[in-house]
Amino acid sequence: MKFFVDTADVEAIAELNALGMVDGVTTNPSLIMKSGRDILEVTKEICGIVAGPVSAETVALDADGMIAEGRKLAEIAPNITVKVPLTWDGLKACKVLSGDGHMVNVTLCFSANQALLAAKAGATFISPFVGRLDDINIDGMDLIGDIRTIYDNYDFNTQILAASIRTVNHVTQAALIGADVMTAPPEVIRKLADHPLTDKGLDAFMKDWAKTGQKIL
């Protein structure tokens, strides 16, 4: 499974990228606002750090506006993925932008039918929001499974990008179901390395090593 990092924090992206933990980046208007930087400036910097797809989101609500903004964003770098919402206008924009040869990430997906439409419109990625479904007592992973089944049934090339990932368990479950990509905040990716038994074992090793009085260097 590919790891995308969901942030516009260039320092966090650079740190994870150096470890080989970043296959791409997703941003949205909220993350851009949090960064406090100009969208074109920060997105260009991110594209210079990461070789993989970098999702930059349009903010227009009509298809023509999304198309114009998408083409502008795509000029930033070759690895830009234009992000559009899963609305009828968003699907229209997806069809045109993908026809132009641009990668398109259709976001805010909450149903299998929406995912089916996005694939037929030529989406490169579909972003089902797992955590937001959990918030309303619907298991977001069921949606990932439904989309996986549908896409496999018809050999769609659209990649399932599990989004709104909030816990390490979300990552495990998405990987087991077969999501192509997951995108998560930097802190969730870091927590994947944590386990209390690892900490306990390391502590025991260090105590025993201290008793030997030895040094390696």
How far, in Å, CA of 129 to CA of 108, rounded? 6
Residue type, 46: I
Contact 107, 83 (CB under 8 A): yes
**CA-to-CA distance for 57 and 72, rounded, in angstroms?**
11
Max CA distance (Å), the chain: 71
Q: Is 83 known to be catalytic?
A: yes
- Which pairing describes strands 159-162 and 125-128: parallel, antiparallel, or unpaired? parallel
Q: Residue 167: which of 152, 188, 181, 187 has the closest Cα?
A: 188
**Is residue 82 within 8 Å of residue 73, measured between CB atoms?**
yes
Q: Which of 44, 83, 95, 215 is catalytic?
A: 83
- What amino acid positions are annotated as catalytic residues? 83
